[in-house]
Amino acid sequence: MAAAPPARARPPFSAGARARDRCAHRQRLRRCRRAALRSTGARGVAGSRQSVRSAADHRGVARAGSTPRAAYHRLVKTRLLKADAPGAVEEAAAALARGELVAFPTDTVYGLSAGQEHVRKLYGAKDRPQEKRIPVLLSDASNLEASAIVTPAARALAQKYWPGPLTIVLVAPRRGTLAFRVPDHPVARRLIA
C-alpha cells in the first residue's frame, strides 16, 4: 500500500492567510470590548443595579495605549437604570442631550442611541464604518414623511407592521438610503419621542 503524498502547507502570506489574520484580530478586539463591558456590569437602561463605573477600574482591562481600543475602554462610564424606575427615561433623555450614548431596550434587541449632533460617537463605539449607515428609530410612523421619500408600498408596510420588528429601507434626500423602524417597546418609544 502506497503512502499518501505529504500535504502541502499553504504559503504564510497568501491572501487567505491575511484574511484569516484580520478576522482573528477583529474577533480578539470584539471579545476584549465585550469583556470590558461585562466587567462593568453594563445592562443598559433596563439594568437591575444602579452604579457609575469606569471600565478601567476593573482587573483585566488593558492600560491606555497598550491596545488600539484601550483608550476607549478607559473612558467608558456606565450609569445603570431600571427602565420602569420613576424618571429613568427622562434621565436617559438628559444623557442624550449632554452628548452621551444610551443603551435601551427595544422589542427585539437593545439599541444604542446618540443625539443627532453626536452620531460620530455612536459610530466610534460600534466600531462601524461611516459608509455603513445606522438605522433610524422613530416614535411613530407619522415621523417617516419628514425623513424620507415614502412609497405607497412602504406606507402600507408601515401601517400594517409598525410598531414592530420590521425595518423599512427608503431613499432619504441628500443622504442616500436609510433604514427606519418603529420599535414596539414602551421605553424605546418614550425615549425616542
Query: Residue 167 domain-assigned?
Result: yes
What are 141-185's pLDDT values in tens digits?
998 998 899 999 999 999 999 999 999 999 998 889 999 999 999
- Given a cut of 50, whether residue 23 has pLDDT beyond it is yes
Average pLDDT of the segment spanning 130-144 = 91
Given this model, what pLDDT does residue 30 score? 67
Give the pairing type, strands 110-113 and 136-137. unpaired
Domain span at residue 99 reads: 88-192
The domain tally of the chain equals 1
Q: pLDDT tier at 25 (50, 70, 90 boundaries)?
A: low
Domain CATH for 119: 3.90.870.10
CB 121 within 8 A of CB 115: no
- The answer to whether the peptide bond before residue 163 is cis (omega within 30 degrees of 0) is yes
Query: Residue 130 domain-assigned?
Result: yes
**Residue 40 has which C-alpha cell?**
462593568
More confident call, 112 vs 3: 112
Given this model, what pLDDT does residue 28 score? 67
What are 27-66's pLDDT values in tens digits?
666 665 665 555 444 444 444 343 334 333 444 444 444 5
CA dihedral 48, 117, 75, 71 (to 10 degrees): 130
Given this model, what pLDDT does residue 26 score? 66
What value does the mean pLDDT of the chain take? 76
What is the DSSP secondary-structure string of the chain? -PPPPPPPPPPTTSHHHHHHHHHHHHHHHHHHHHHHHHHTT--GGG-SS--EEEGGGSTTPPPTTSSTTHHHHHH-EEE---TTSTTHHHHHHHHHHTT--EEEE-SSSEEEE--GGGHHHHHHHHT--TTSPPPEE-SSGGGGTTTSB--HHHHHHHHHH-SSS--EEEEETTTEEEEEE--S-HHHHHHH-
Query: Residue 36 domain-assigned?
Result: no
Query: Residue 165 domain-assigned?
Result: yes
Query: Residue 51 domain-assigned?
Result: no
Percentage of the chain with pLDDT > 70? 61
Answer yes or no: pTM beyond 0.75. no
